[in-house]
Structure 1
Amino acid sequence: MSHAANPPAATLPPSIRVFERGWLSSNNILLVDETRAALVDTGYATHAAQTVALVQHALAGRALDTIVNTHLHSDHCGGNARLQAQWPCETLIPAASANAVRAWDEARLSFLATGQTCERFAFTGTLTPGARVTLGGFEWEVIGAPGHDPDSLMLYAAGPRVLISADALWEHGFGVIFPELEGASGFAEQRAVLDAIAQLDVAVVIPGHGAPFANVEAALERAYARLAWLSADRARNAKNALKVLIVFKLLEVRTMTFAALETMLAEAAIMRAAAQQLAPESTWPALMRELAGELAKSGALVMSENGVEAPAGMA
């Protein structure tokens, strides 16, 4: 990978536009050329109407032709159904997820297991690592990105040297390594993905969350360090996962009692798997209060005697 000594601010070609959405919804990447208007990732279900409005405004009367999902976590595909209702667009998903979506197999899809929601959607085609797709006037290579999610993909365009990294690489980290919570391998896969990114000539990364960034080498150094820290003790990944899922839910519902948190833990399989790596089930109510206290100290939530709520001003 080539890097300037002082990397420039992240700049993108005019055919690529990023809607930075915060954390509850993933970023949406709009790629427009003469033949196709495409959107990569569609945000969370509670923001679906806003996603449609953003795309409508940006396209100024033109139709959306294509949806591409890097992976099928709820914050990346939650707007699919609403966008499909607005426009009869093709929808391309990772091939490895096709059977689960076709059957709407909620045991294999992650929505219930994480305590989240996603309106049922259809797809018209699939993408596999090694495939190529033209979006925004550029040819993109599809790259497998297991680690955070076994089926996840990235998109890389050599022409503008742009990488759409989804949750495989953020400017300050990467997404929760979910497979490790359920006894599968994920740390090794995440390292392999970081190694693959390091071999690419990347000028700008468009992450799944956060602003596009240019200093890829520094981001990779932080990601490698975090991965080493997480993989040194599996409990660290489990604890991080529970904290992420609690805060994610609070961003949606704004307030929860401790009883509601305990119900969520009981019903969400991935959360249960994480908690099992941390403490005996009889102590889970105390565990939830302990995690809430740590999140409160960091400012991620506000804790009271009976429950938790999102801080004022947190979107």
Structure 2
Amino acid sequence: MIELPASIRVFERGWLSSNNVLLVDDASATLIDTGYATHAPQTLALVRAALGTRPLDRIVNTHLHSDHCGGNALLQSVWSCATDIPEPDADAVRAWDETRLTYRATGQTCERFAFTGTLVPGMRLTLGALDWSVLGAPGHDPHSLMLYCEDARVLISADALWENGFGVIFPELEGDSGFAEQQAVLELIATLDVKTVIPGHGAPFSDVDAALERAFSRIAWLRADPARNAKNALKVLIVFKLLDVRTLSFDTLVAMLDDATAMRAAAAALRPRSEWPALLRELVGELARGDGPLKVEGDVVHAREAQA
């Protein structure tokens, strides 16, 4: 049984949307991460049901992948809430540069939003009547952050640590360093006194040592053969797109490789360009096996079921 302070409420979402963490005290109500744009109305409904008549005062984004900030715009339109983002992303958000924000690279969407403040590692925040330290968590995303409450022994880990792994190491797809940074973040987490981890995806968990052991094993496995990271990234992005749009033809998937640079880089790490159509059919076939998230009907790929 996971026990959290009374001021913390976790909305565990489906795979397409990140978890949302609501922290409420007498002074304010803050939401950590807002899910994907497709599910923004659901995020709004969850927050409204939890807050009743009081407003949402603040949004804090651990990083700006579209599944973590896709609900920002709708929530801001309803409550005019303050919004804090990682400081290195400020210029890209201000100019709404979808290339630098990775939405074009990953074939994803995010409605334009504004921000009122920025976060950097070392800052201290008071949320839900608890004191939190902002920690850097590069690896999955160079600018990603975590929040750690020493008194409550709670870590909001975003995509740096899940119960069974961590997020795709995207920088490595473009030839930038990411494995070493992910290793360092795991080593940092291992130094913290953590009783409960609230991950970006999946249920909160308390067996932190076991999760770290699995994560250290996985990063070693990926570093031994970077093609493994590329294959995982391409499969994740295919599933993400299908969970969003529900149905795509194989021809459309192949065309996406030219438009989405992260997908193209992952495919290029695996096969020559002439073999990309066959590669996509192979990966989709793997994702359609058994109870996999996809199903194939001729030249059309479907997501099996909607997730929130």
TM range (shorter): over 0.9
> 3-state DSSP class of the match of 1:180?
helix
- 1:65 is matched with 57
Matches within 5 A, 1:11-22: 11-22=3-14
Supply the AA of the counterpart residue of 2:298: E
Q: How far apart, in 1, do the equivalents of 2:5 and 2:306 lie?
A: 33
Match of 1:203 in 2: 195
Q: Counterpart of 1:304 in structure 2: which amino acid? A: E
1:302 maps to: 295
Which residue is equivalent to 2:78?
A: 86
Equivalent residue number for residue 261 of structure 2: 269
Asked if 1:136 corresponds to 2:163, the answer is: no
TM-superposition CA deviations, 1:96-125 (whole Å, max 9, x none): 111111111122011111011000000000
Unmatched 5+ stretches in structure 1: 1-8
Equivalent in 31, 36, 58 of residue 23 of structure 2: 31
Once the 2 structures are TM-superposed, how far is the Cα of residue 73 of structure 1 from its aligned partner? Answer: 0.1
Q: Which letter does structure 2 place at the counterpart of 1:300?
A: P
User: What secondary structure, in the 3-state scheme, does the structure 2 residue paired with 1:34 have?
Assistant: coil
Q: Which amino acid letter does the alignment assign opposite residue 310 of structure 1? A: A
CA shift for structure 1 position 53? 1.1
Give the count of matched residue pairs: 307
User: Which residue matches 1:242?
Assistant: 234
* CA RMSD of superposed structures (Å): 1.0
The residue identity in structure 2 corresponding to 1:305 is G
CA distance in 2, matches of 1:300, 1:55: 28
Q: Which runs of 5+ in 2 are unaligned?
A: none
Is structure 2 residue 69 aligned with structure 1 residue 77? yes
SS of the residue corresponding to residue 171 of structure 2 reads helix
Deviation at 1:85, TM superposition (A): 0.1
CA distance, structure 1, for counterparts of residue 132 and residue 306 of structure 2: 38
- Counting only pairs closer than 5 Å after superposition, residues 272-291 of structure 1 correspond to structure 2 as 272-291=264-283
SS of equivalent residue, structure 1 residue 49 = helix
What amino acid does structure 1 have at the position aligned with 2:162?
A: W
CA distance in 2, matches of 1:289, 1:231: 26
- Greater displacement, 304-313 / 81-90: 304-313
Secondary structure in structure 1 of the residue aligned to 2:289: helix
Q: Which residue of 2 aligns with 1:3?
A: none
2:133 counterpart letter in structure 1:
E
Shift of 1:312: 4.2
SS of 1:160's equivalent in the other structure is: coil
1:241 offset after TM fit, Å? 0.3
Candidates 37, 41, 59, aligned match of 1:49: 41
In the TM superposition, 1:150-165 aligns within 5 A as 150-165=142-157
In structure 1, how many angstroms separate the alpha carbons of the residues matched to 2:39 and 2:59? Answer: 16
Q: Distance in 2 between matches of 1:22 and 1:168?
A: 18
Cα deviation per residue 1:168-227 (whole Å; 9 max; x = unaligned)?
Answer: 000000000000000000000000000000000000000000000000000000001111
Q: State the alpha-carbon separation in 1 of the partners of residues 69 and 256 from structure 2.
A: 22
Structure 2 contact 135–146 (Cα < 8 Å) conserved: yes
Match of 1:311 in 2: 304
Q: Where do residues 172-251 of structure 1 align in structure 2 (5 Å cutoff)?
A: 172-251=164-243
Please report how far the alpha carbon of residue 307 of structure 1 lies from its aligned counterpart in structure 2 after TM superposition. Answer: 2.3
Scaled by the length of structure 1, what TM-score is found?
0.96
**Shift in Å at residue 293 of structure 1?**
1.1
1:254 to 238, 246, 253: 246
Q: Percent identity?
A: 70
1:11 Cα deviation after fit: 1.1
Moved over 2 A (4+): 312-315
Moved more, 260-269 or 149-158: 260-269
| Letter matched to residue 153 of structure 1 | L
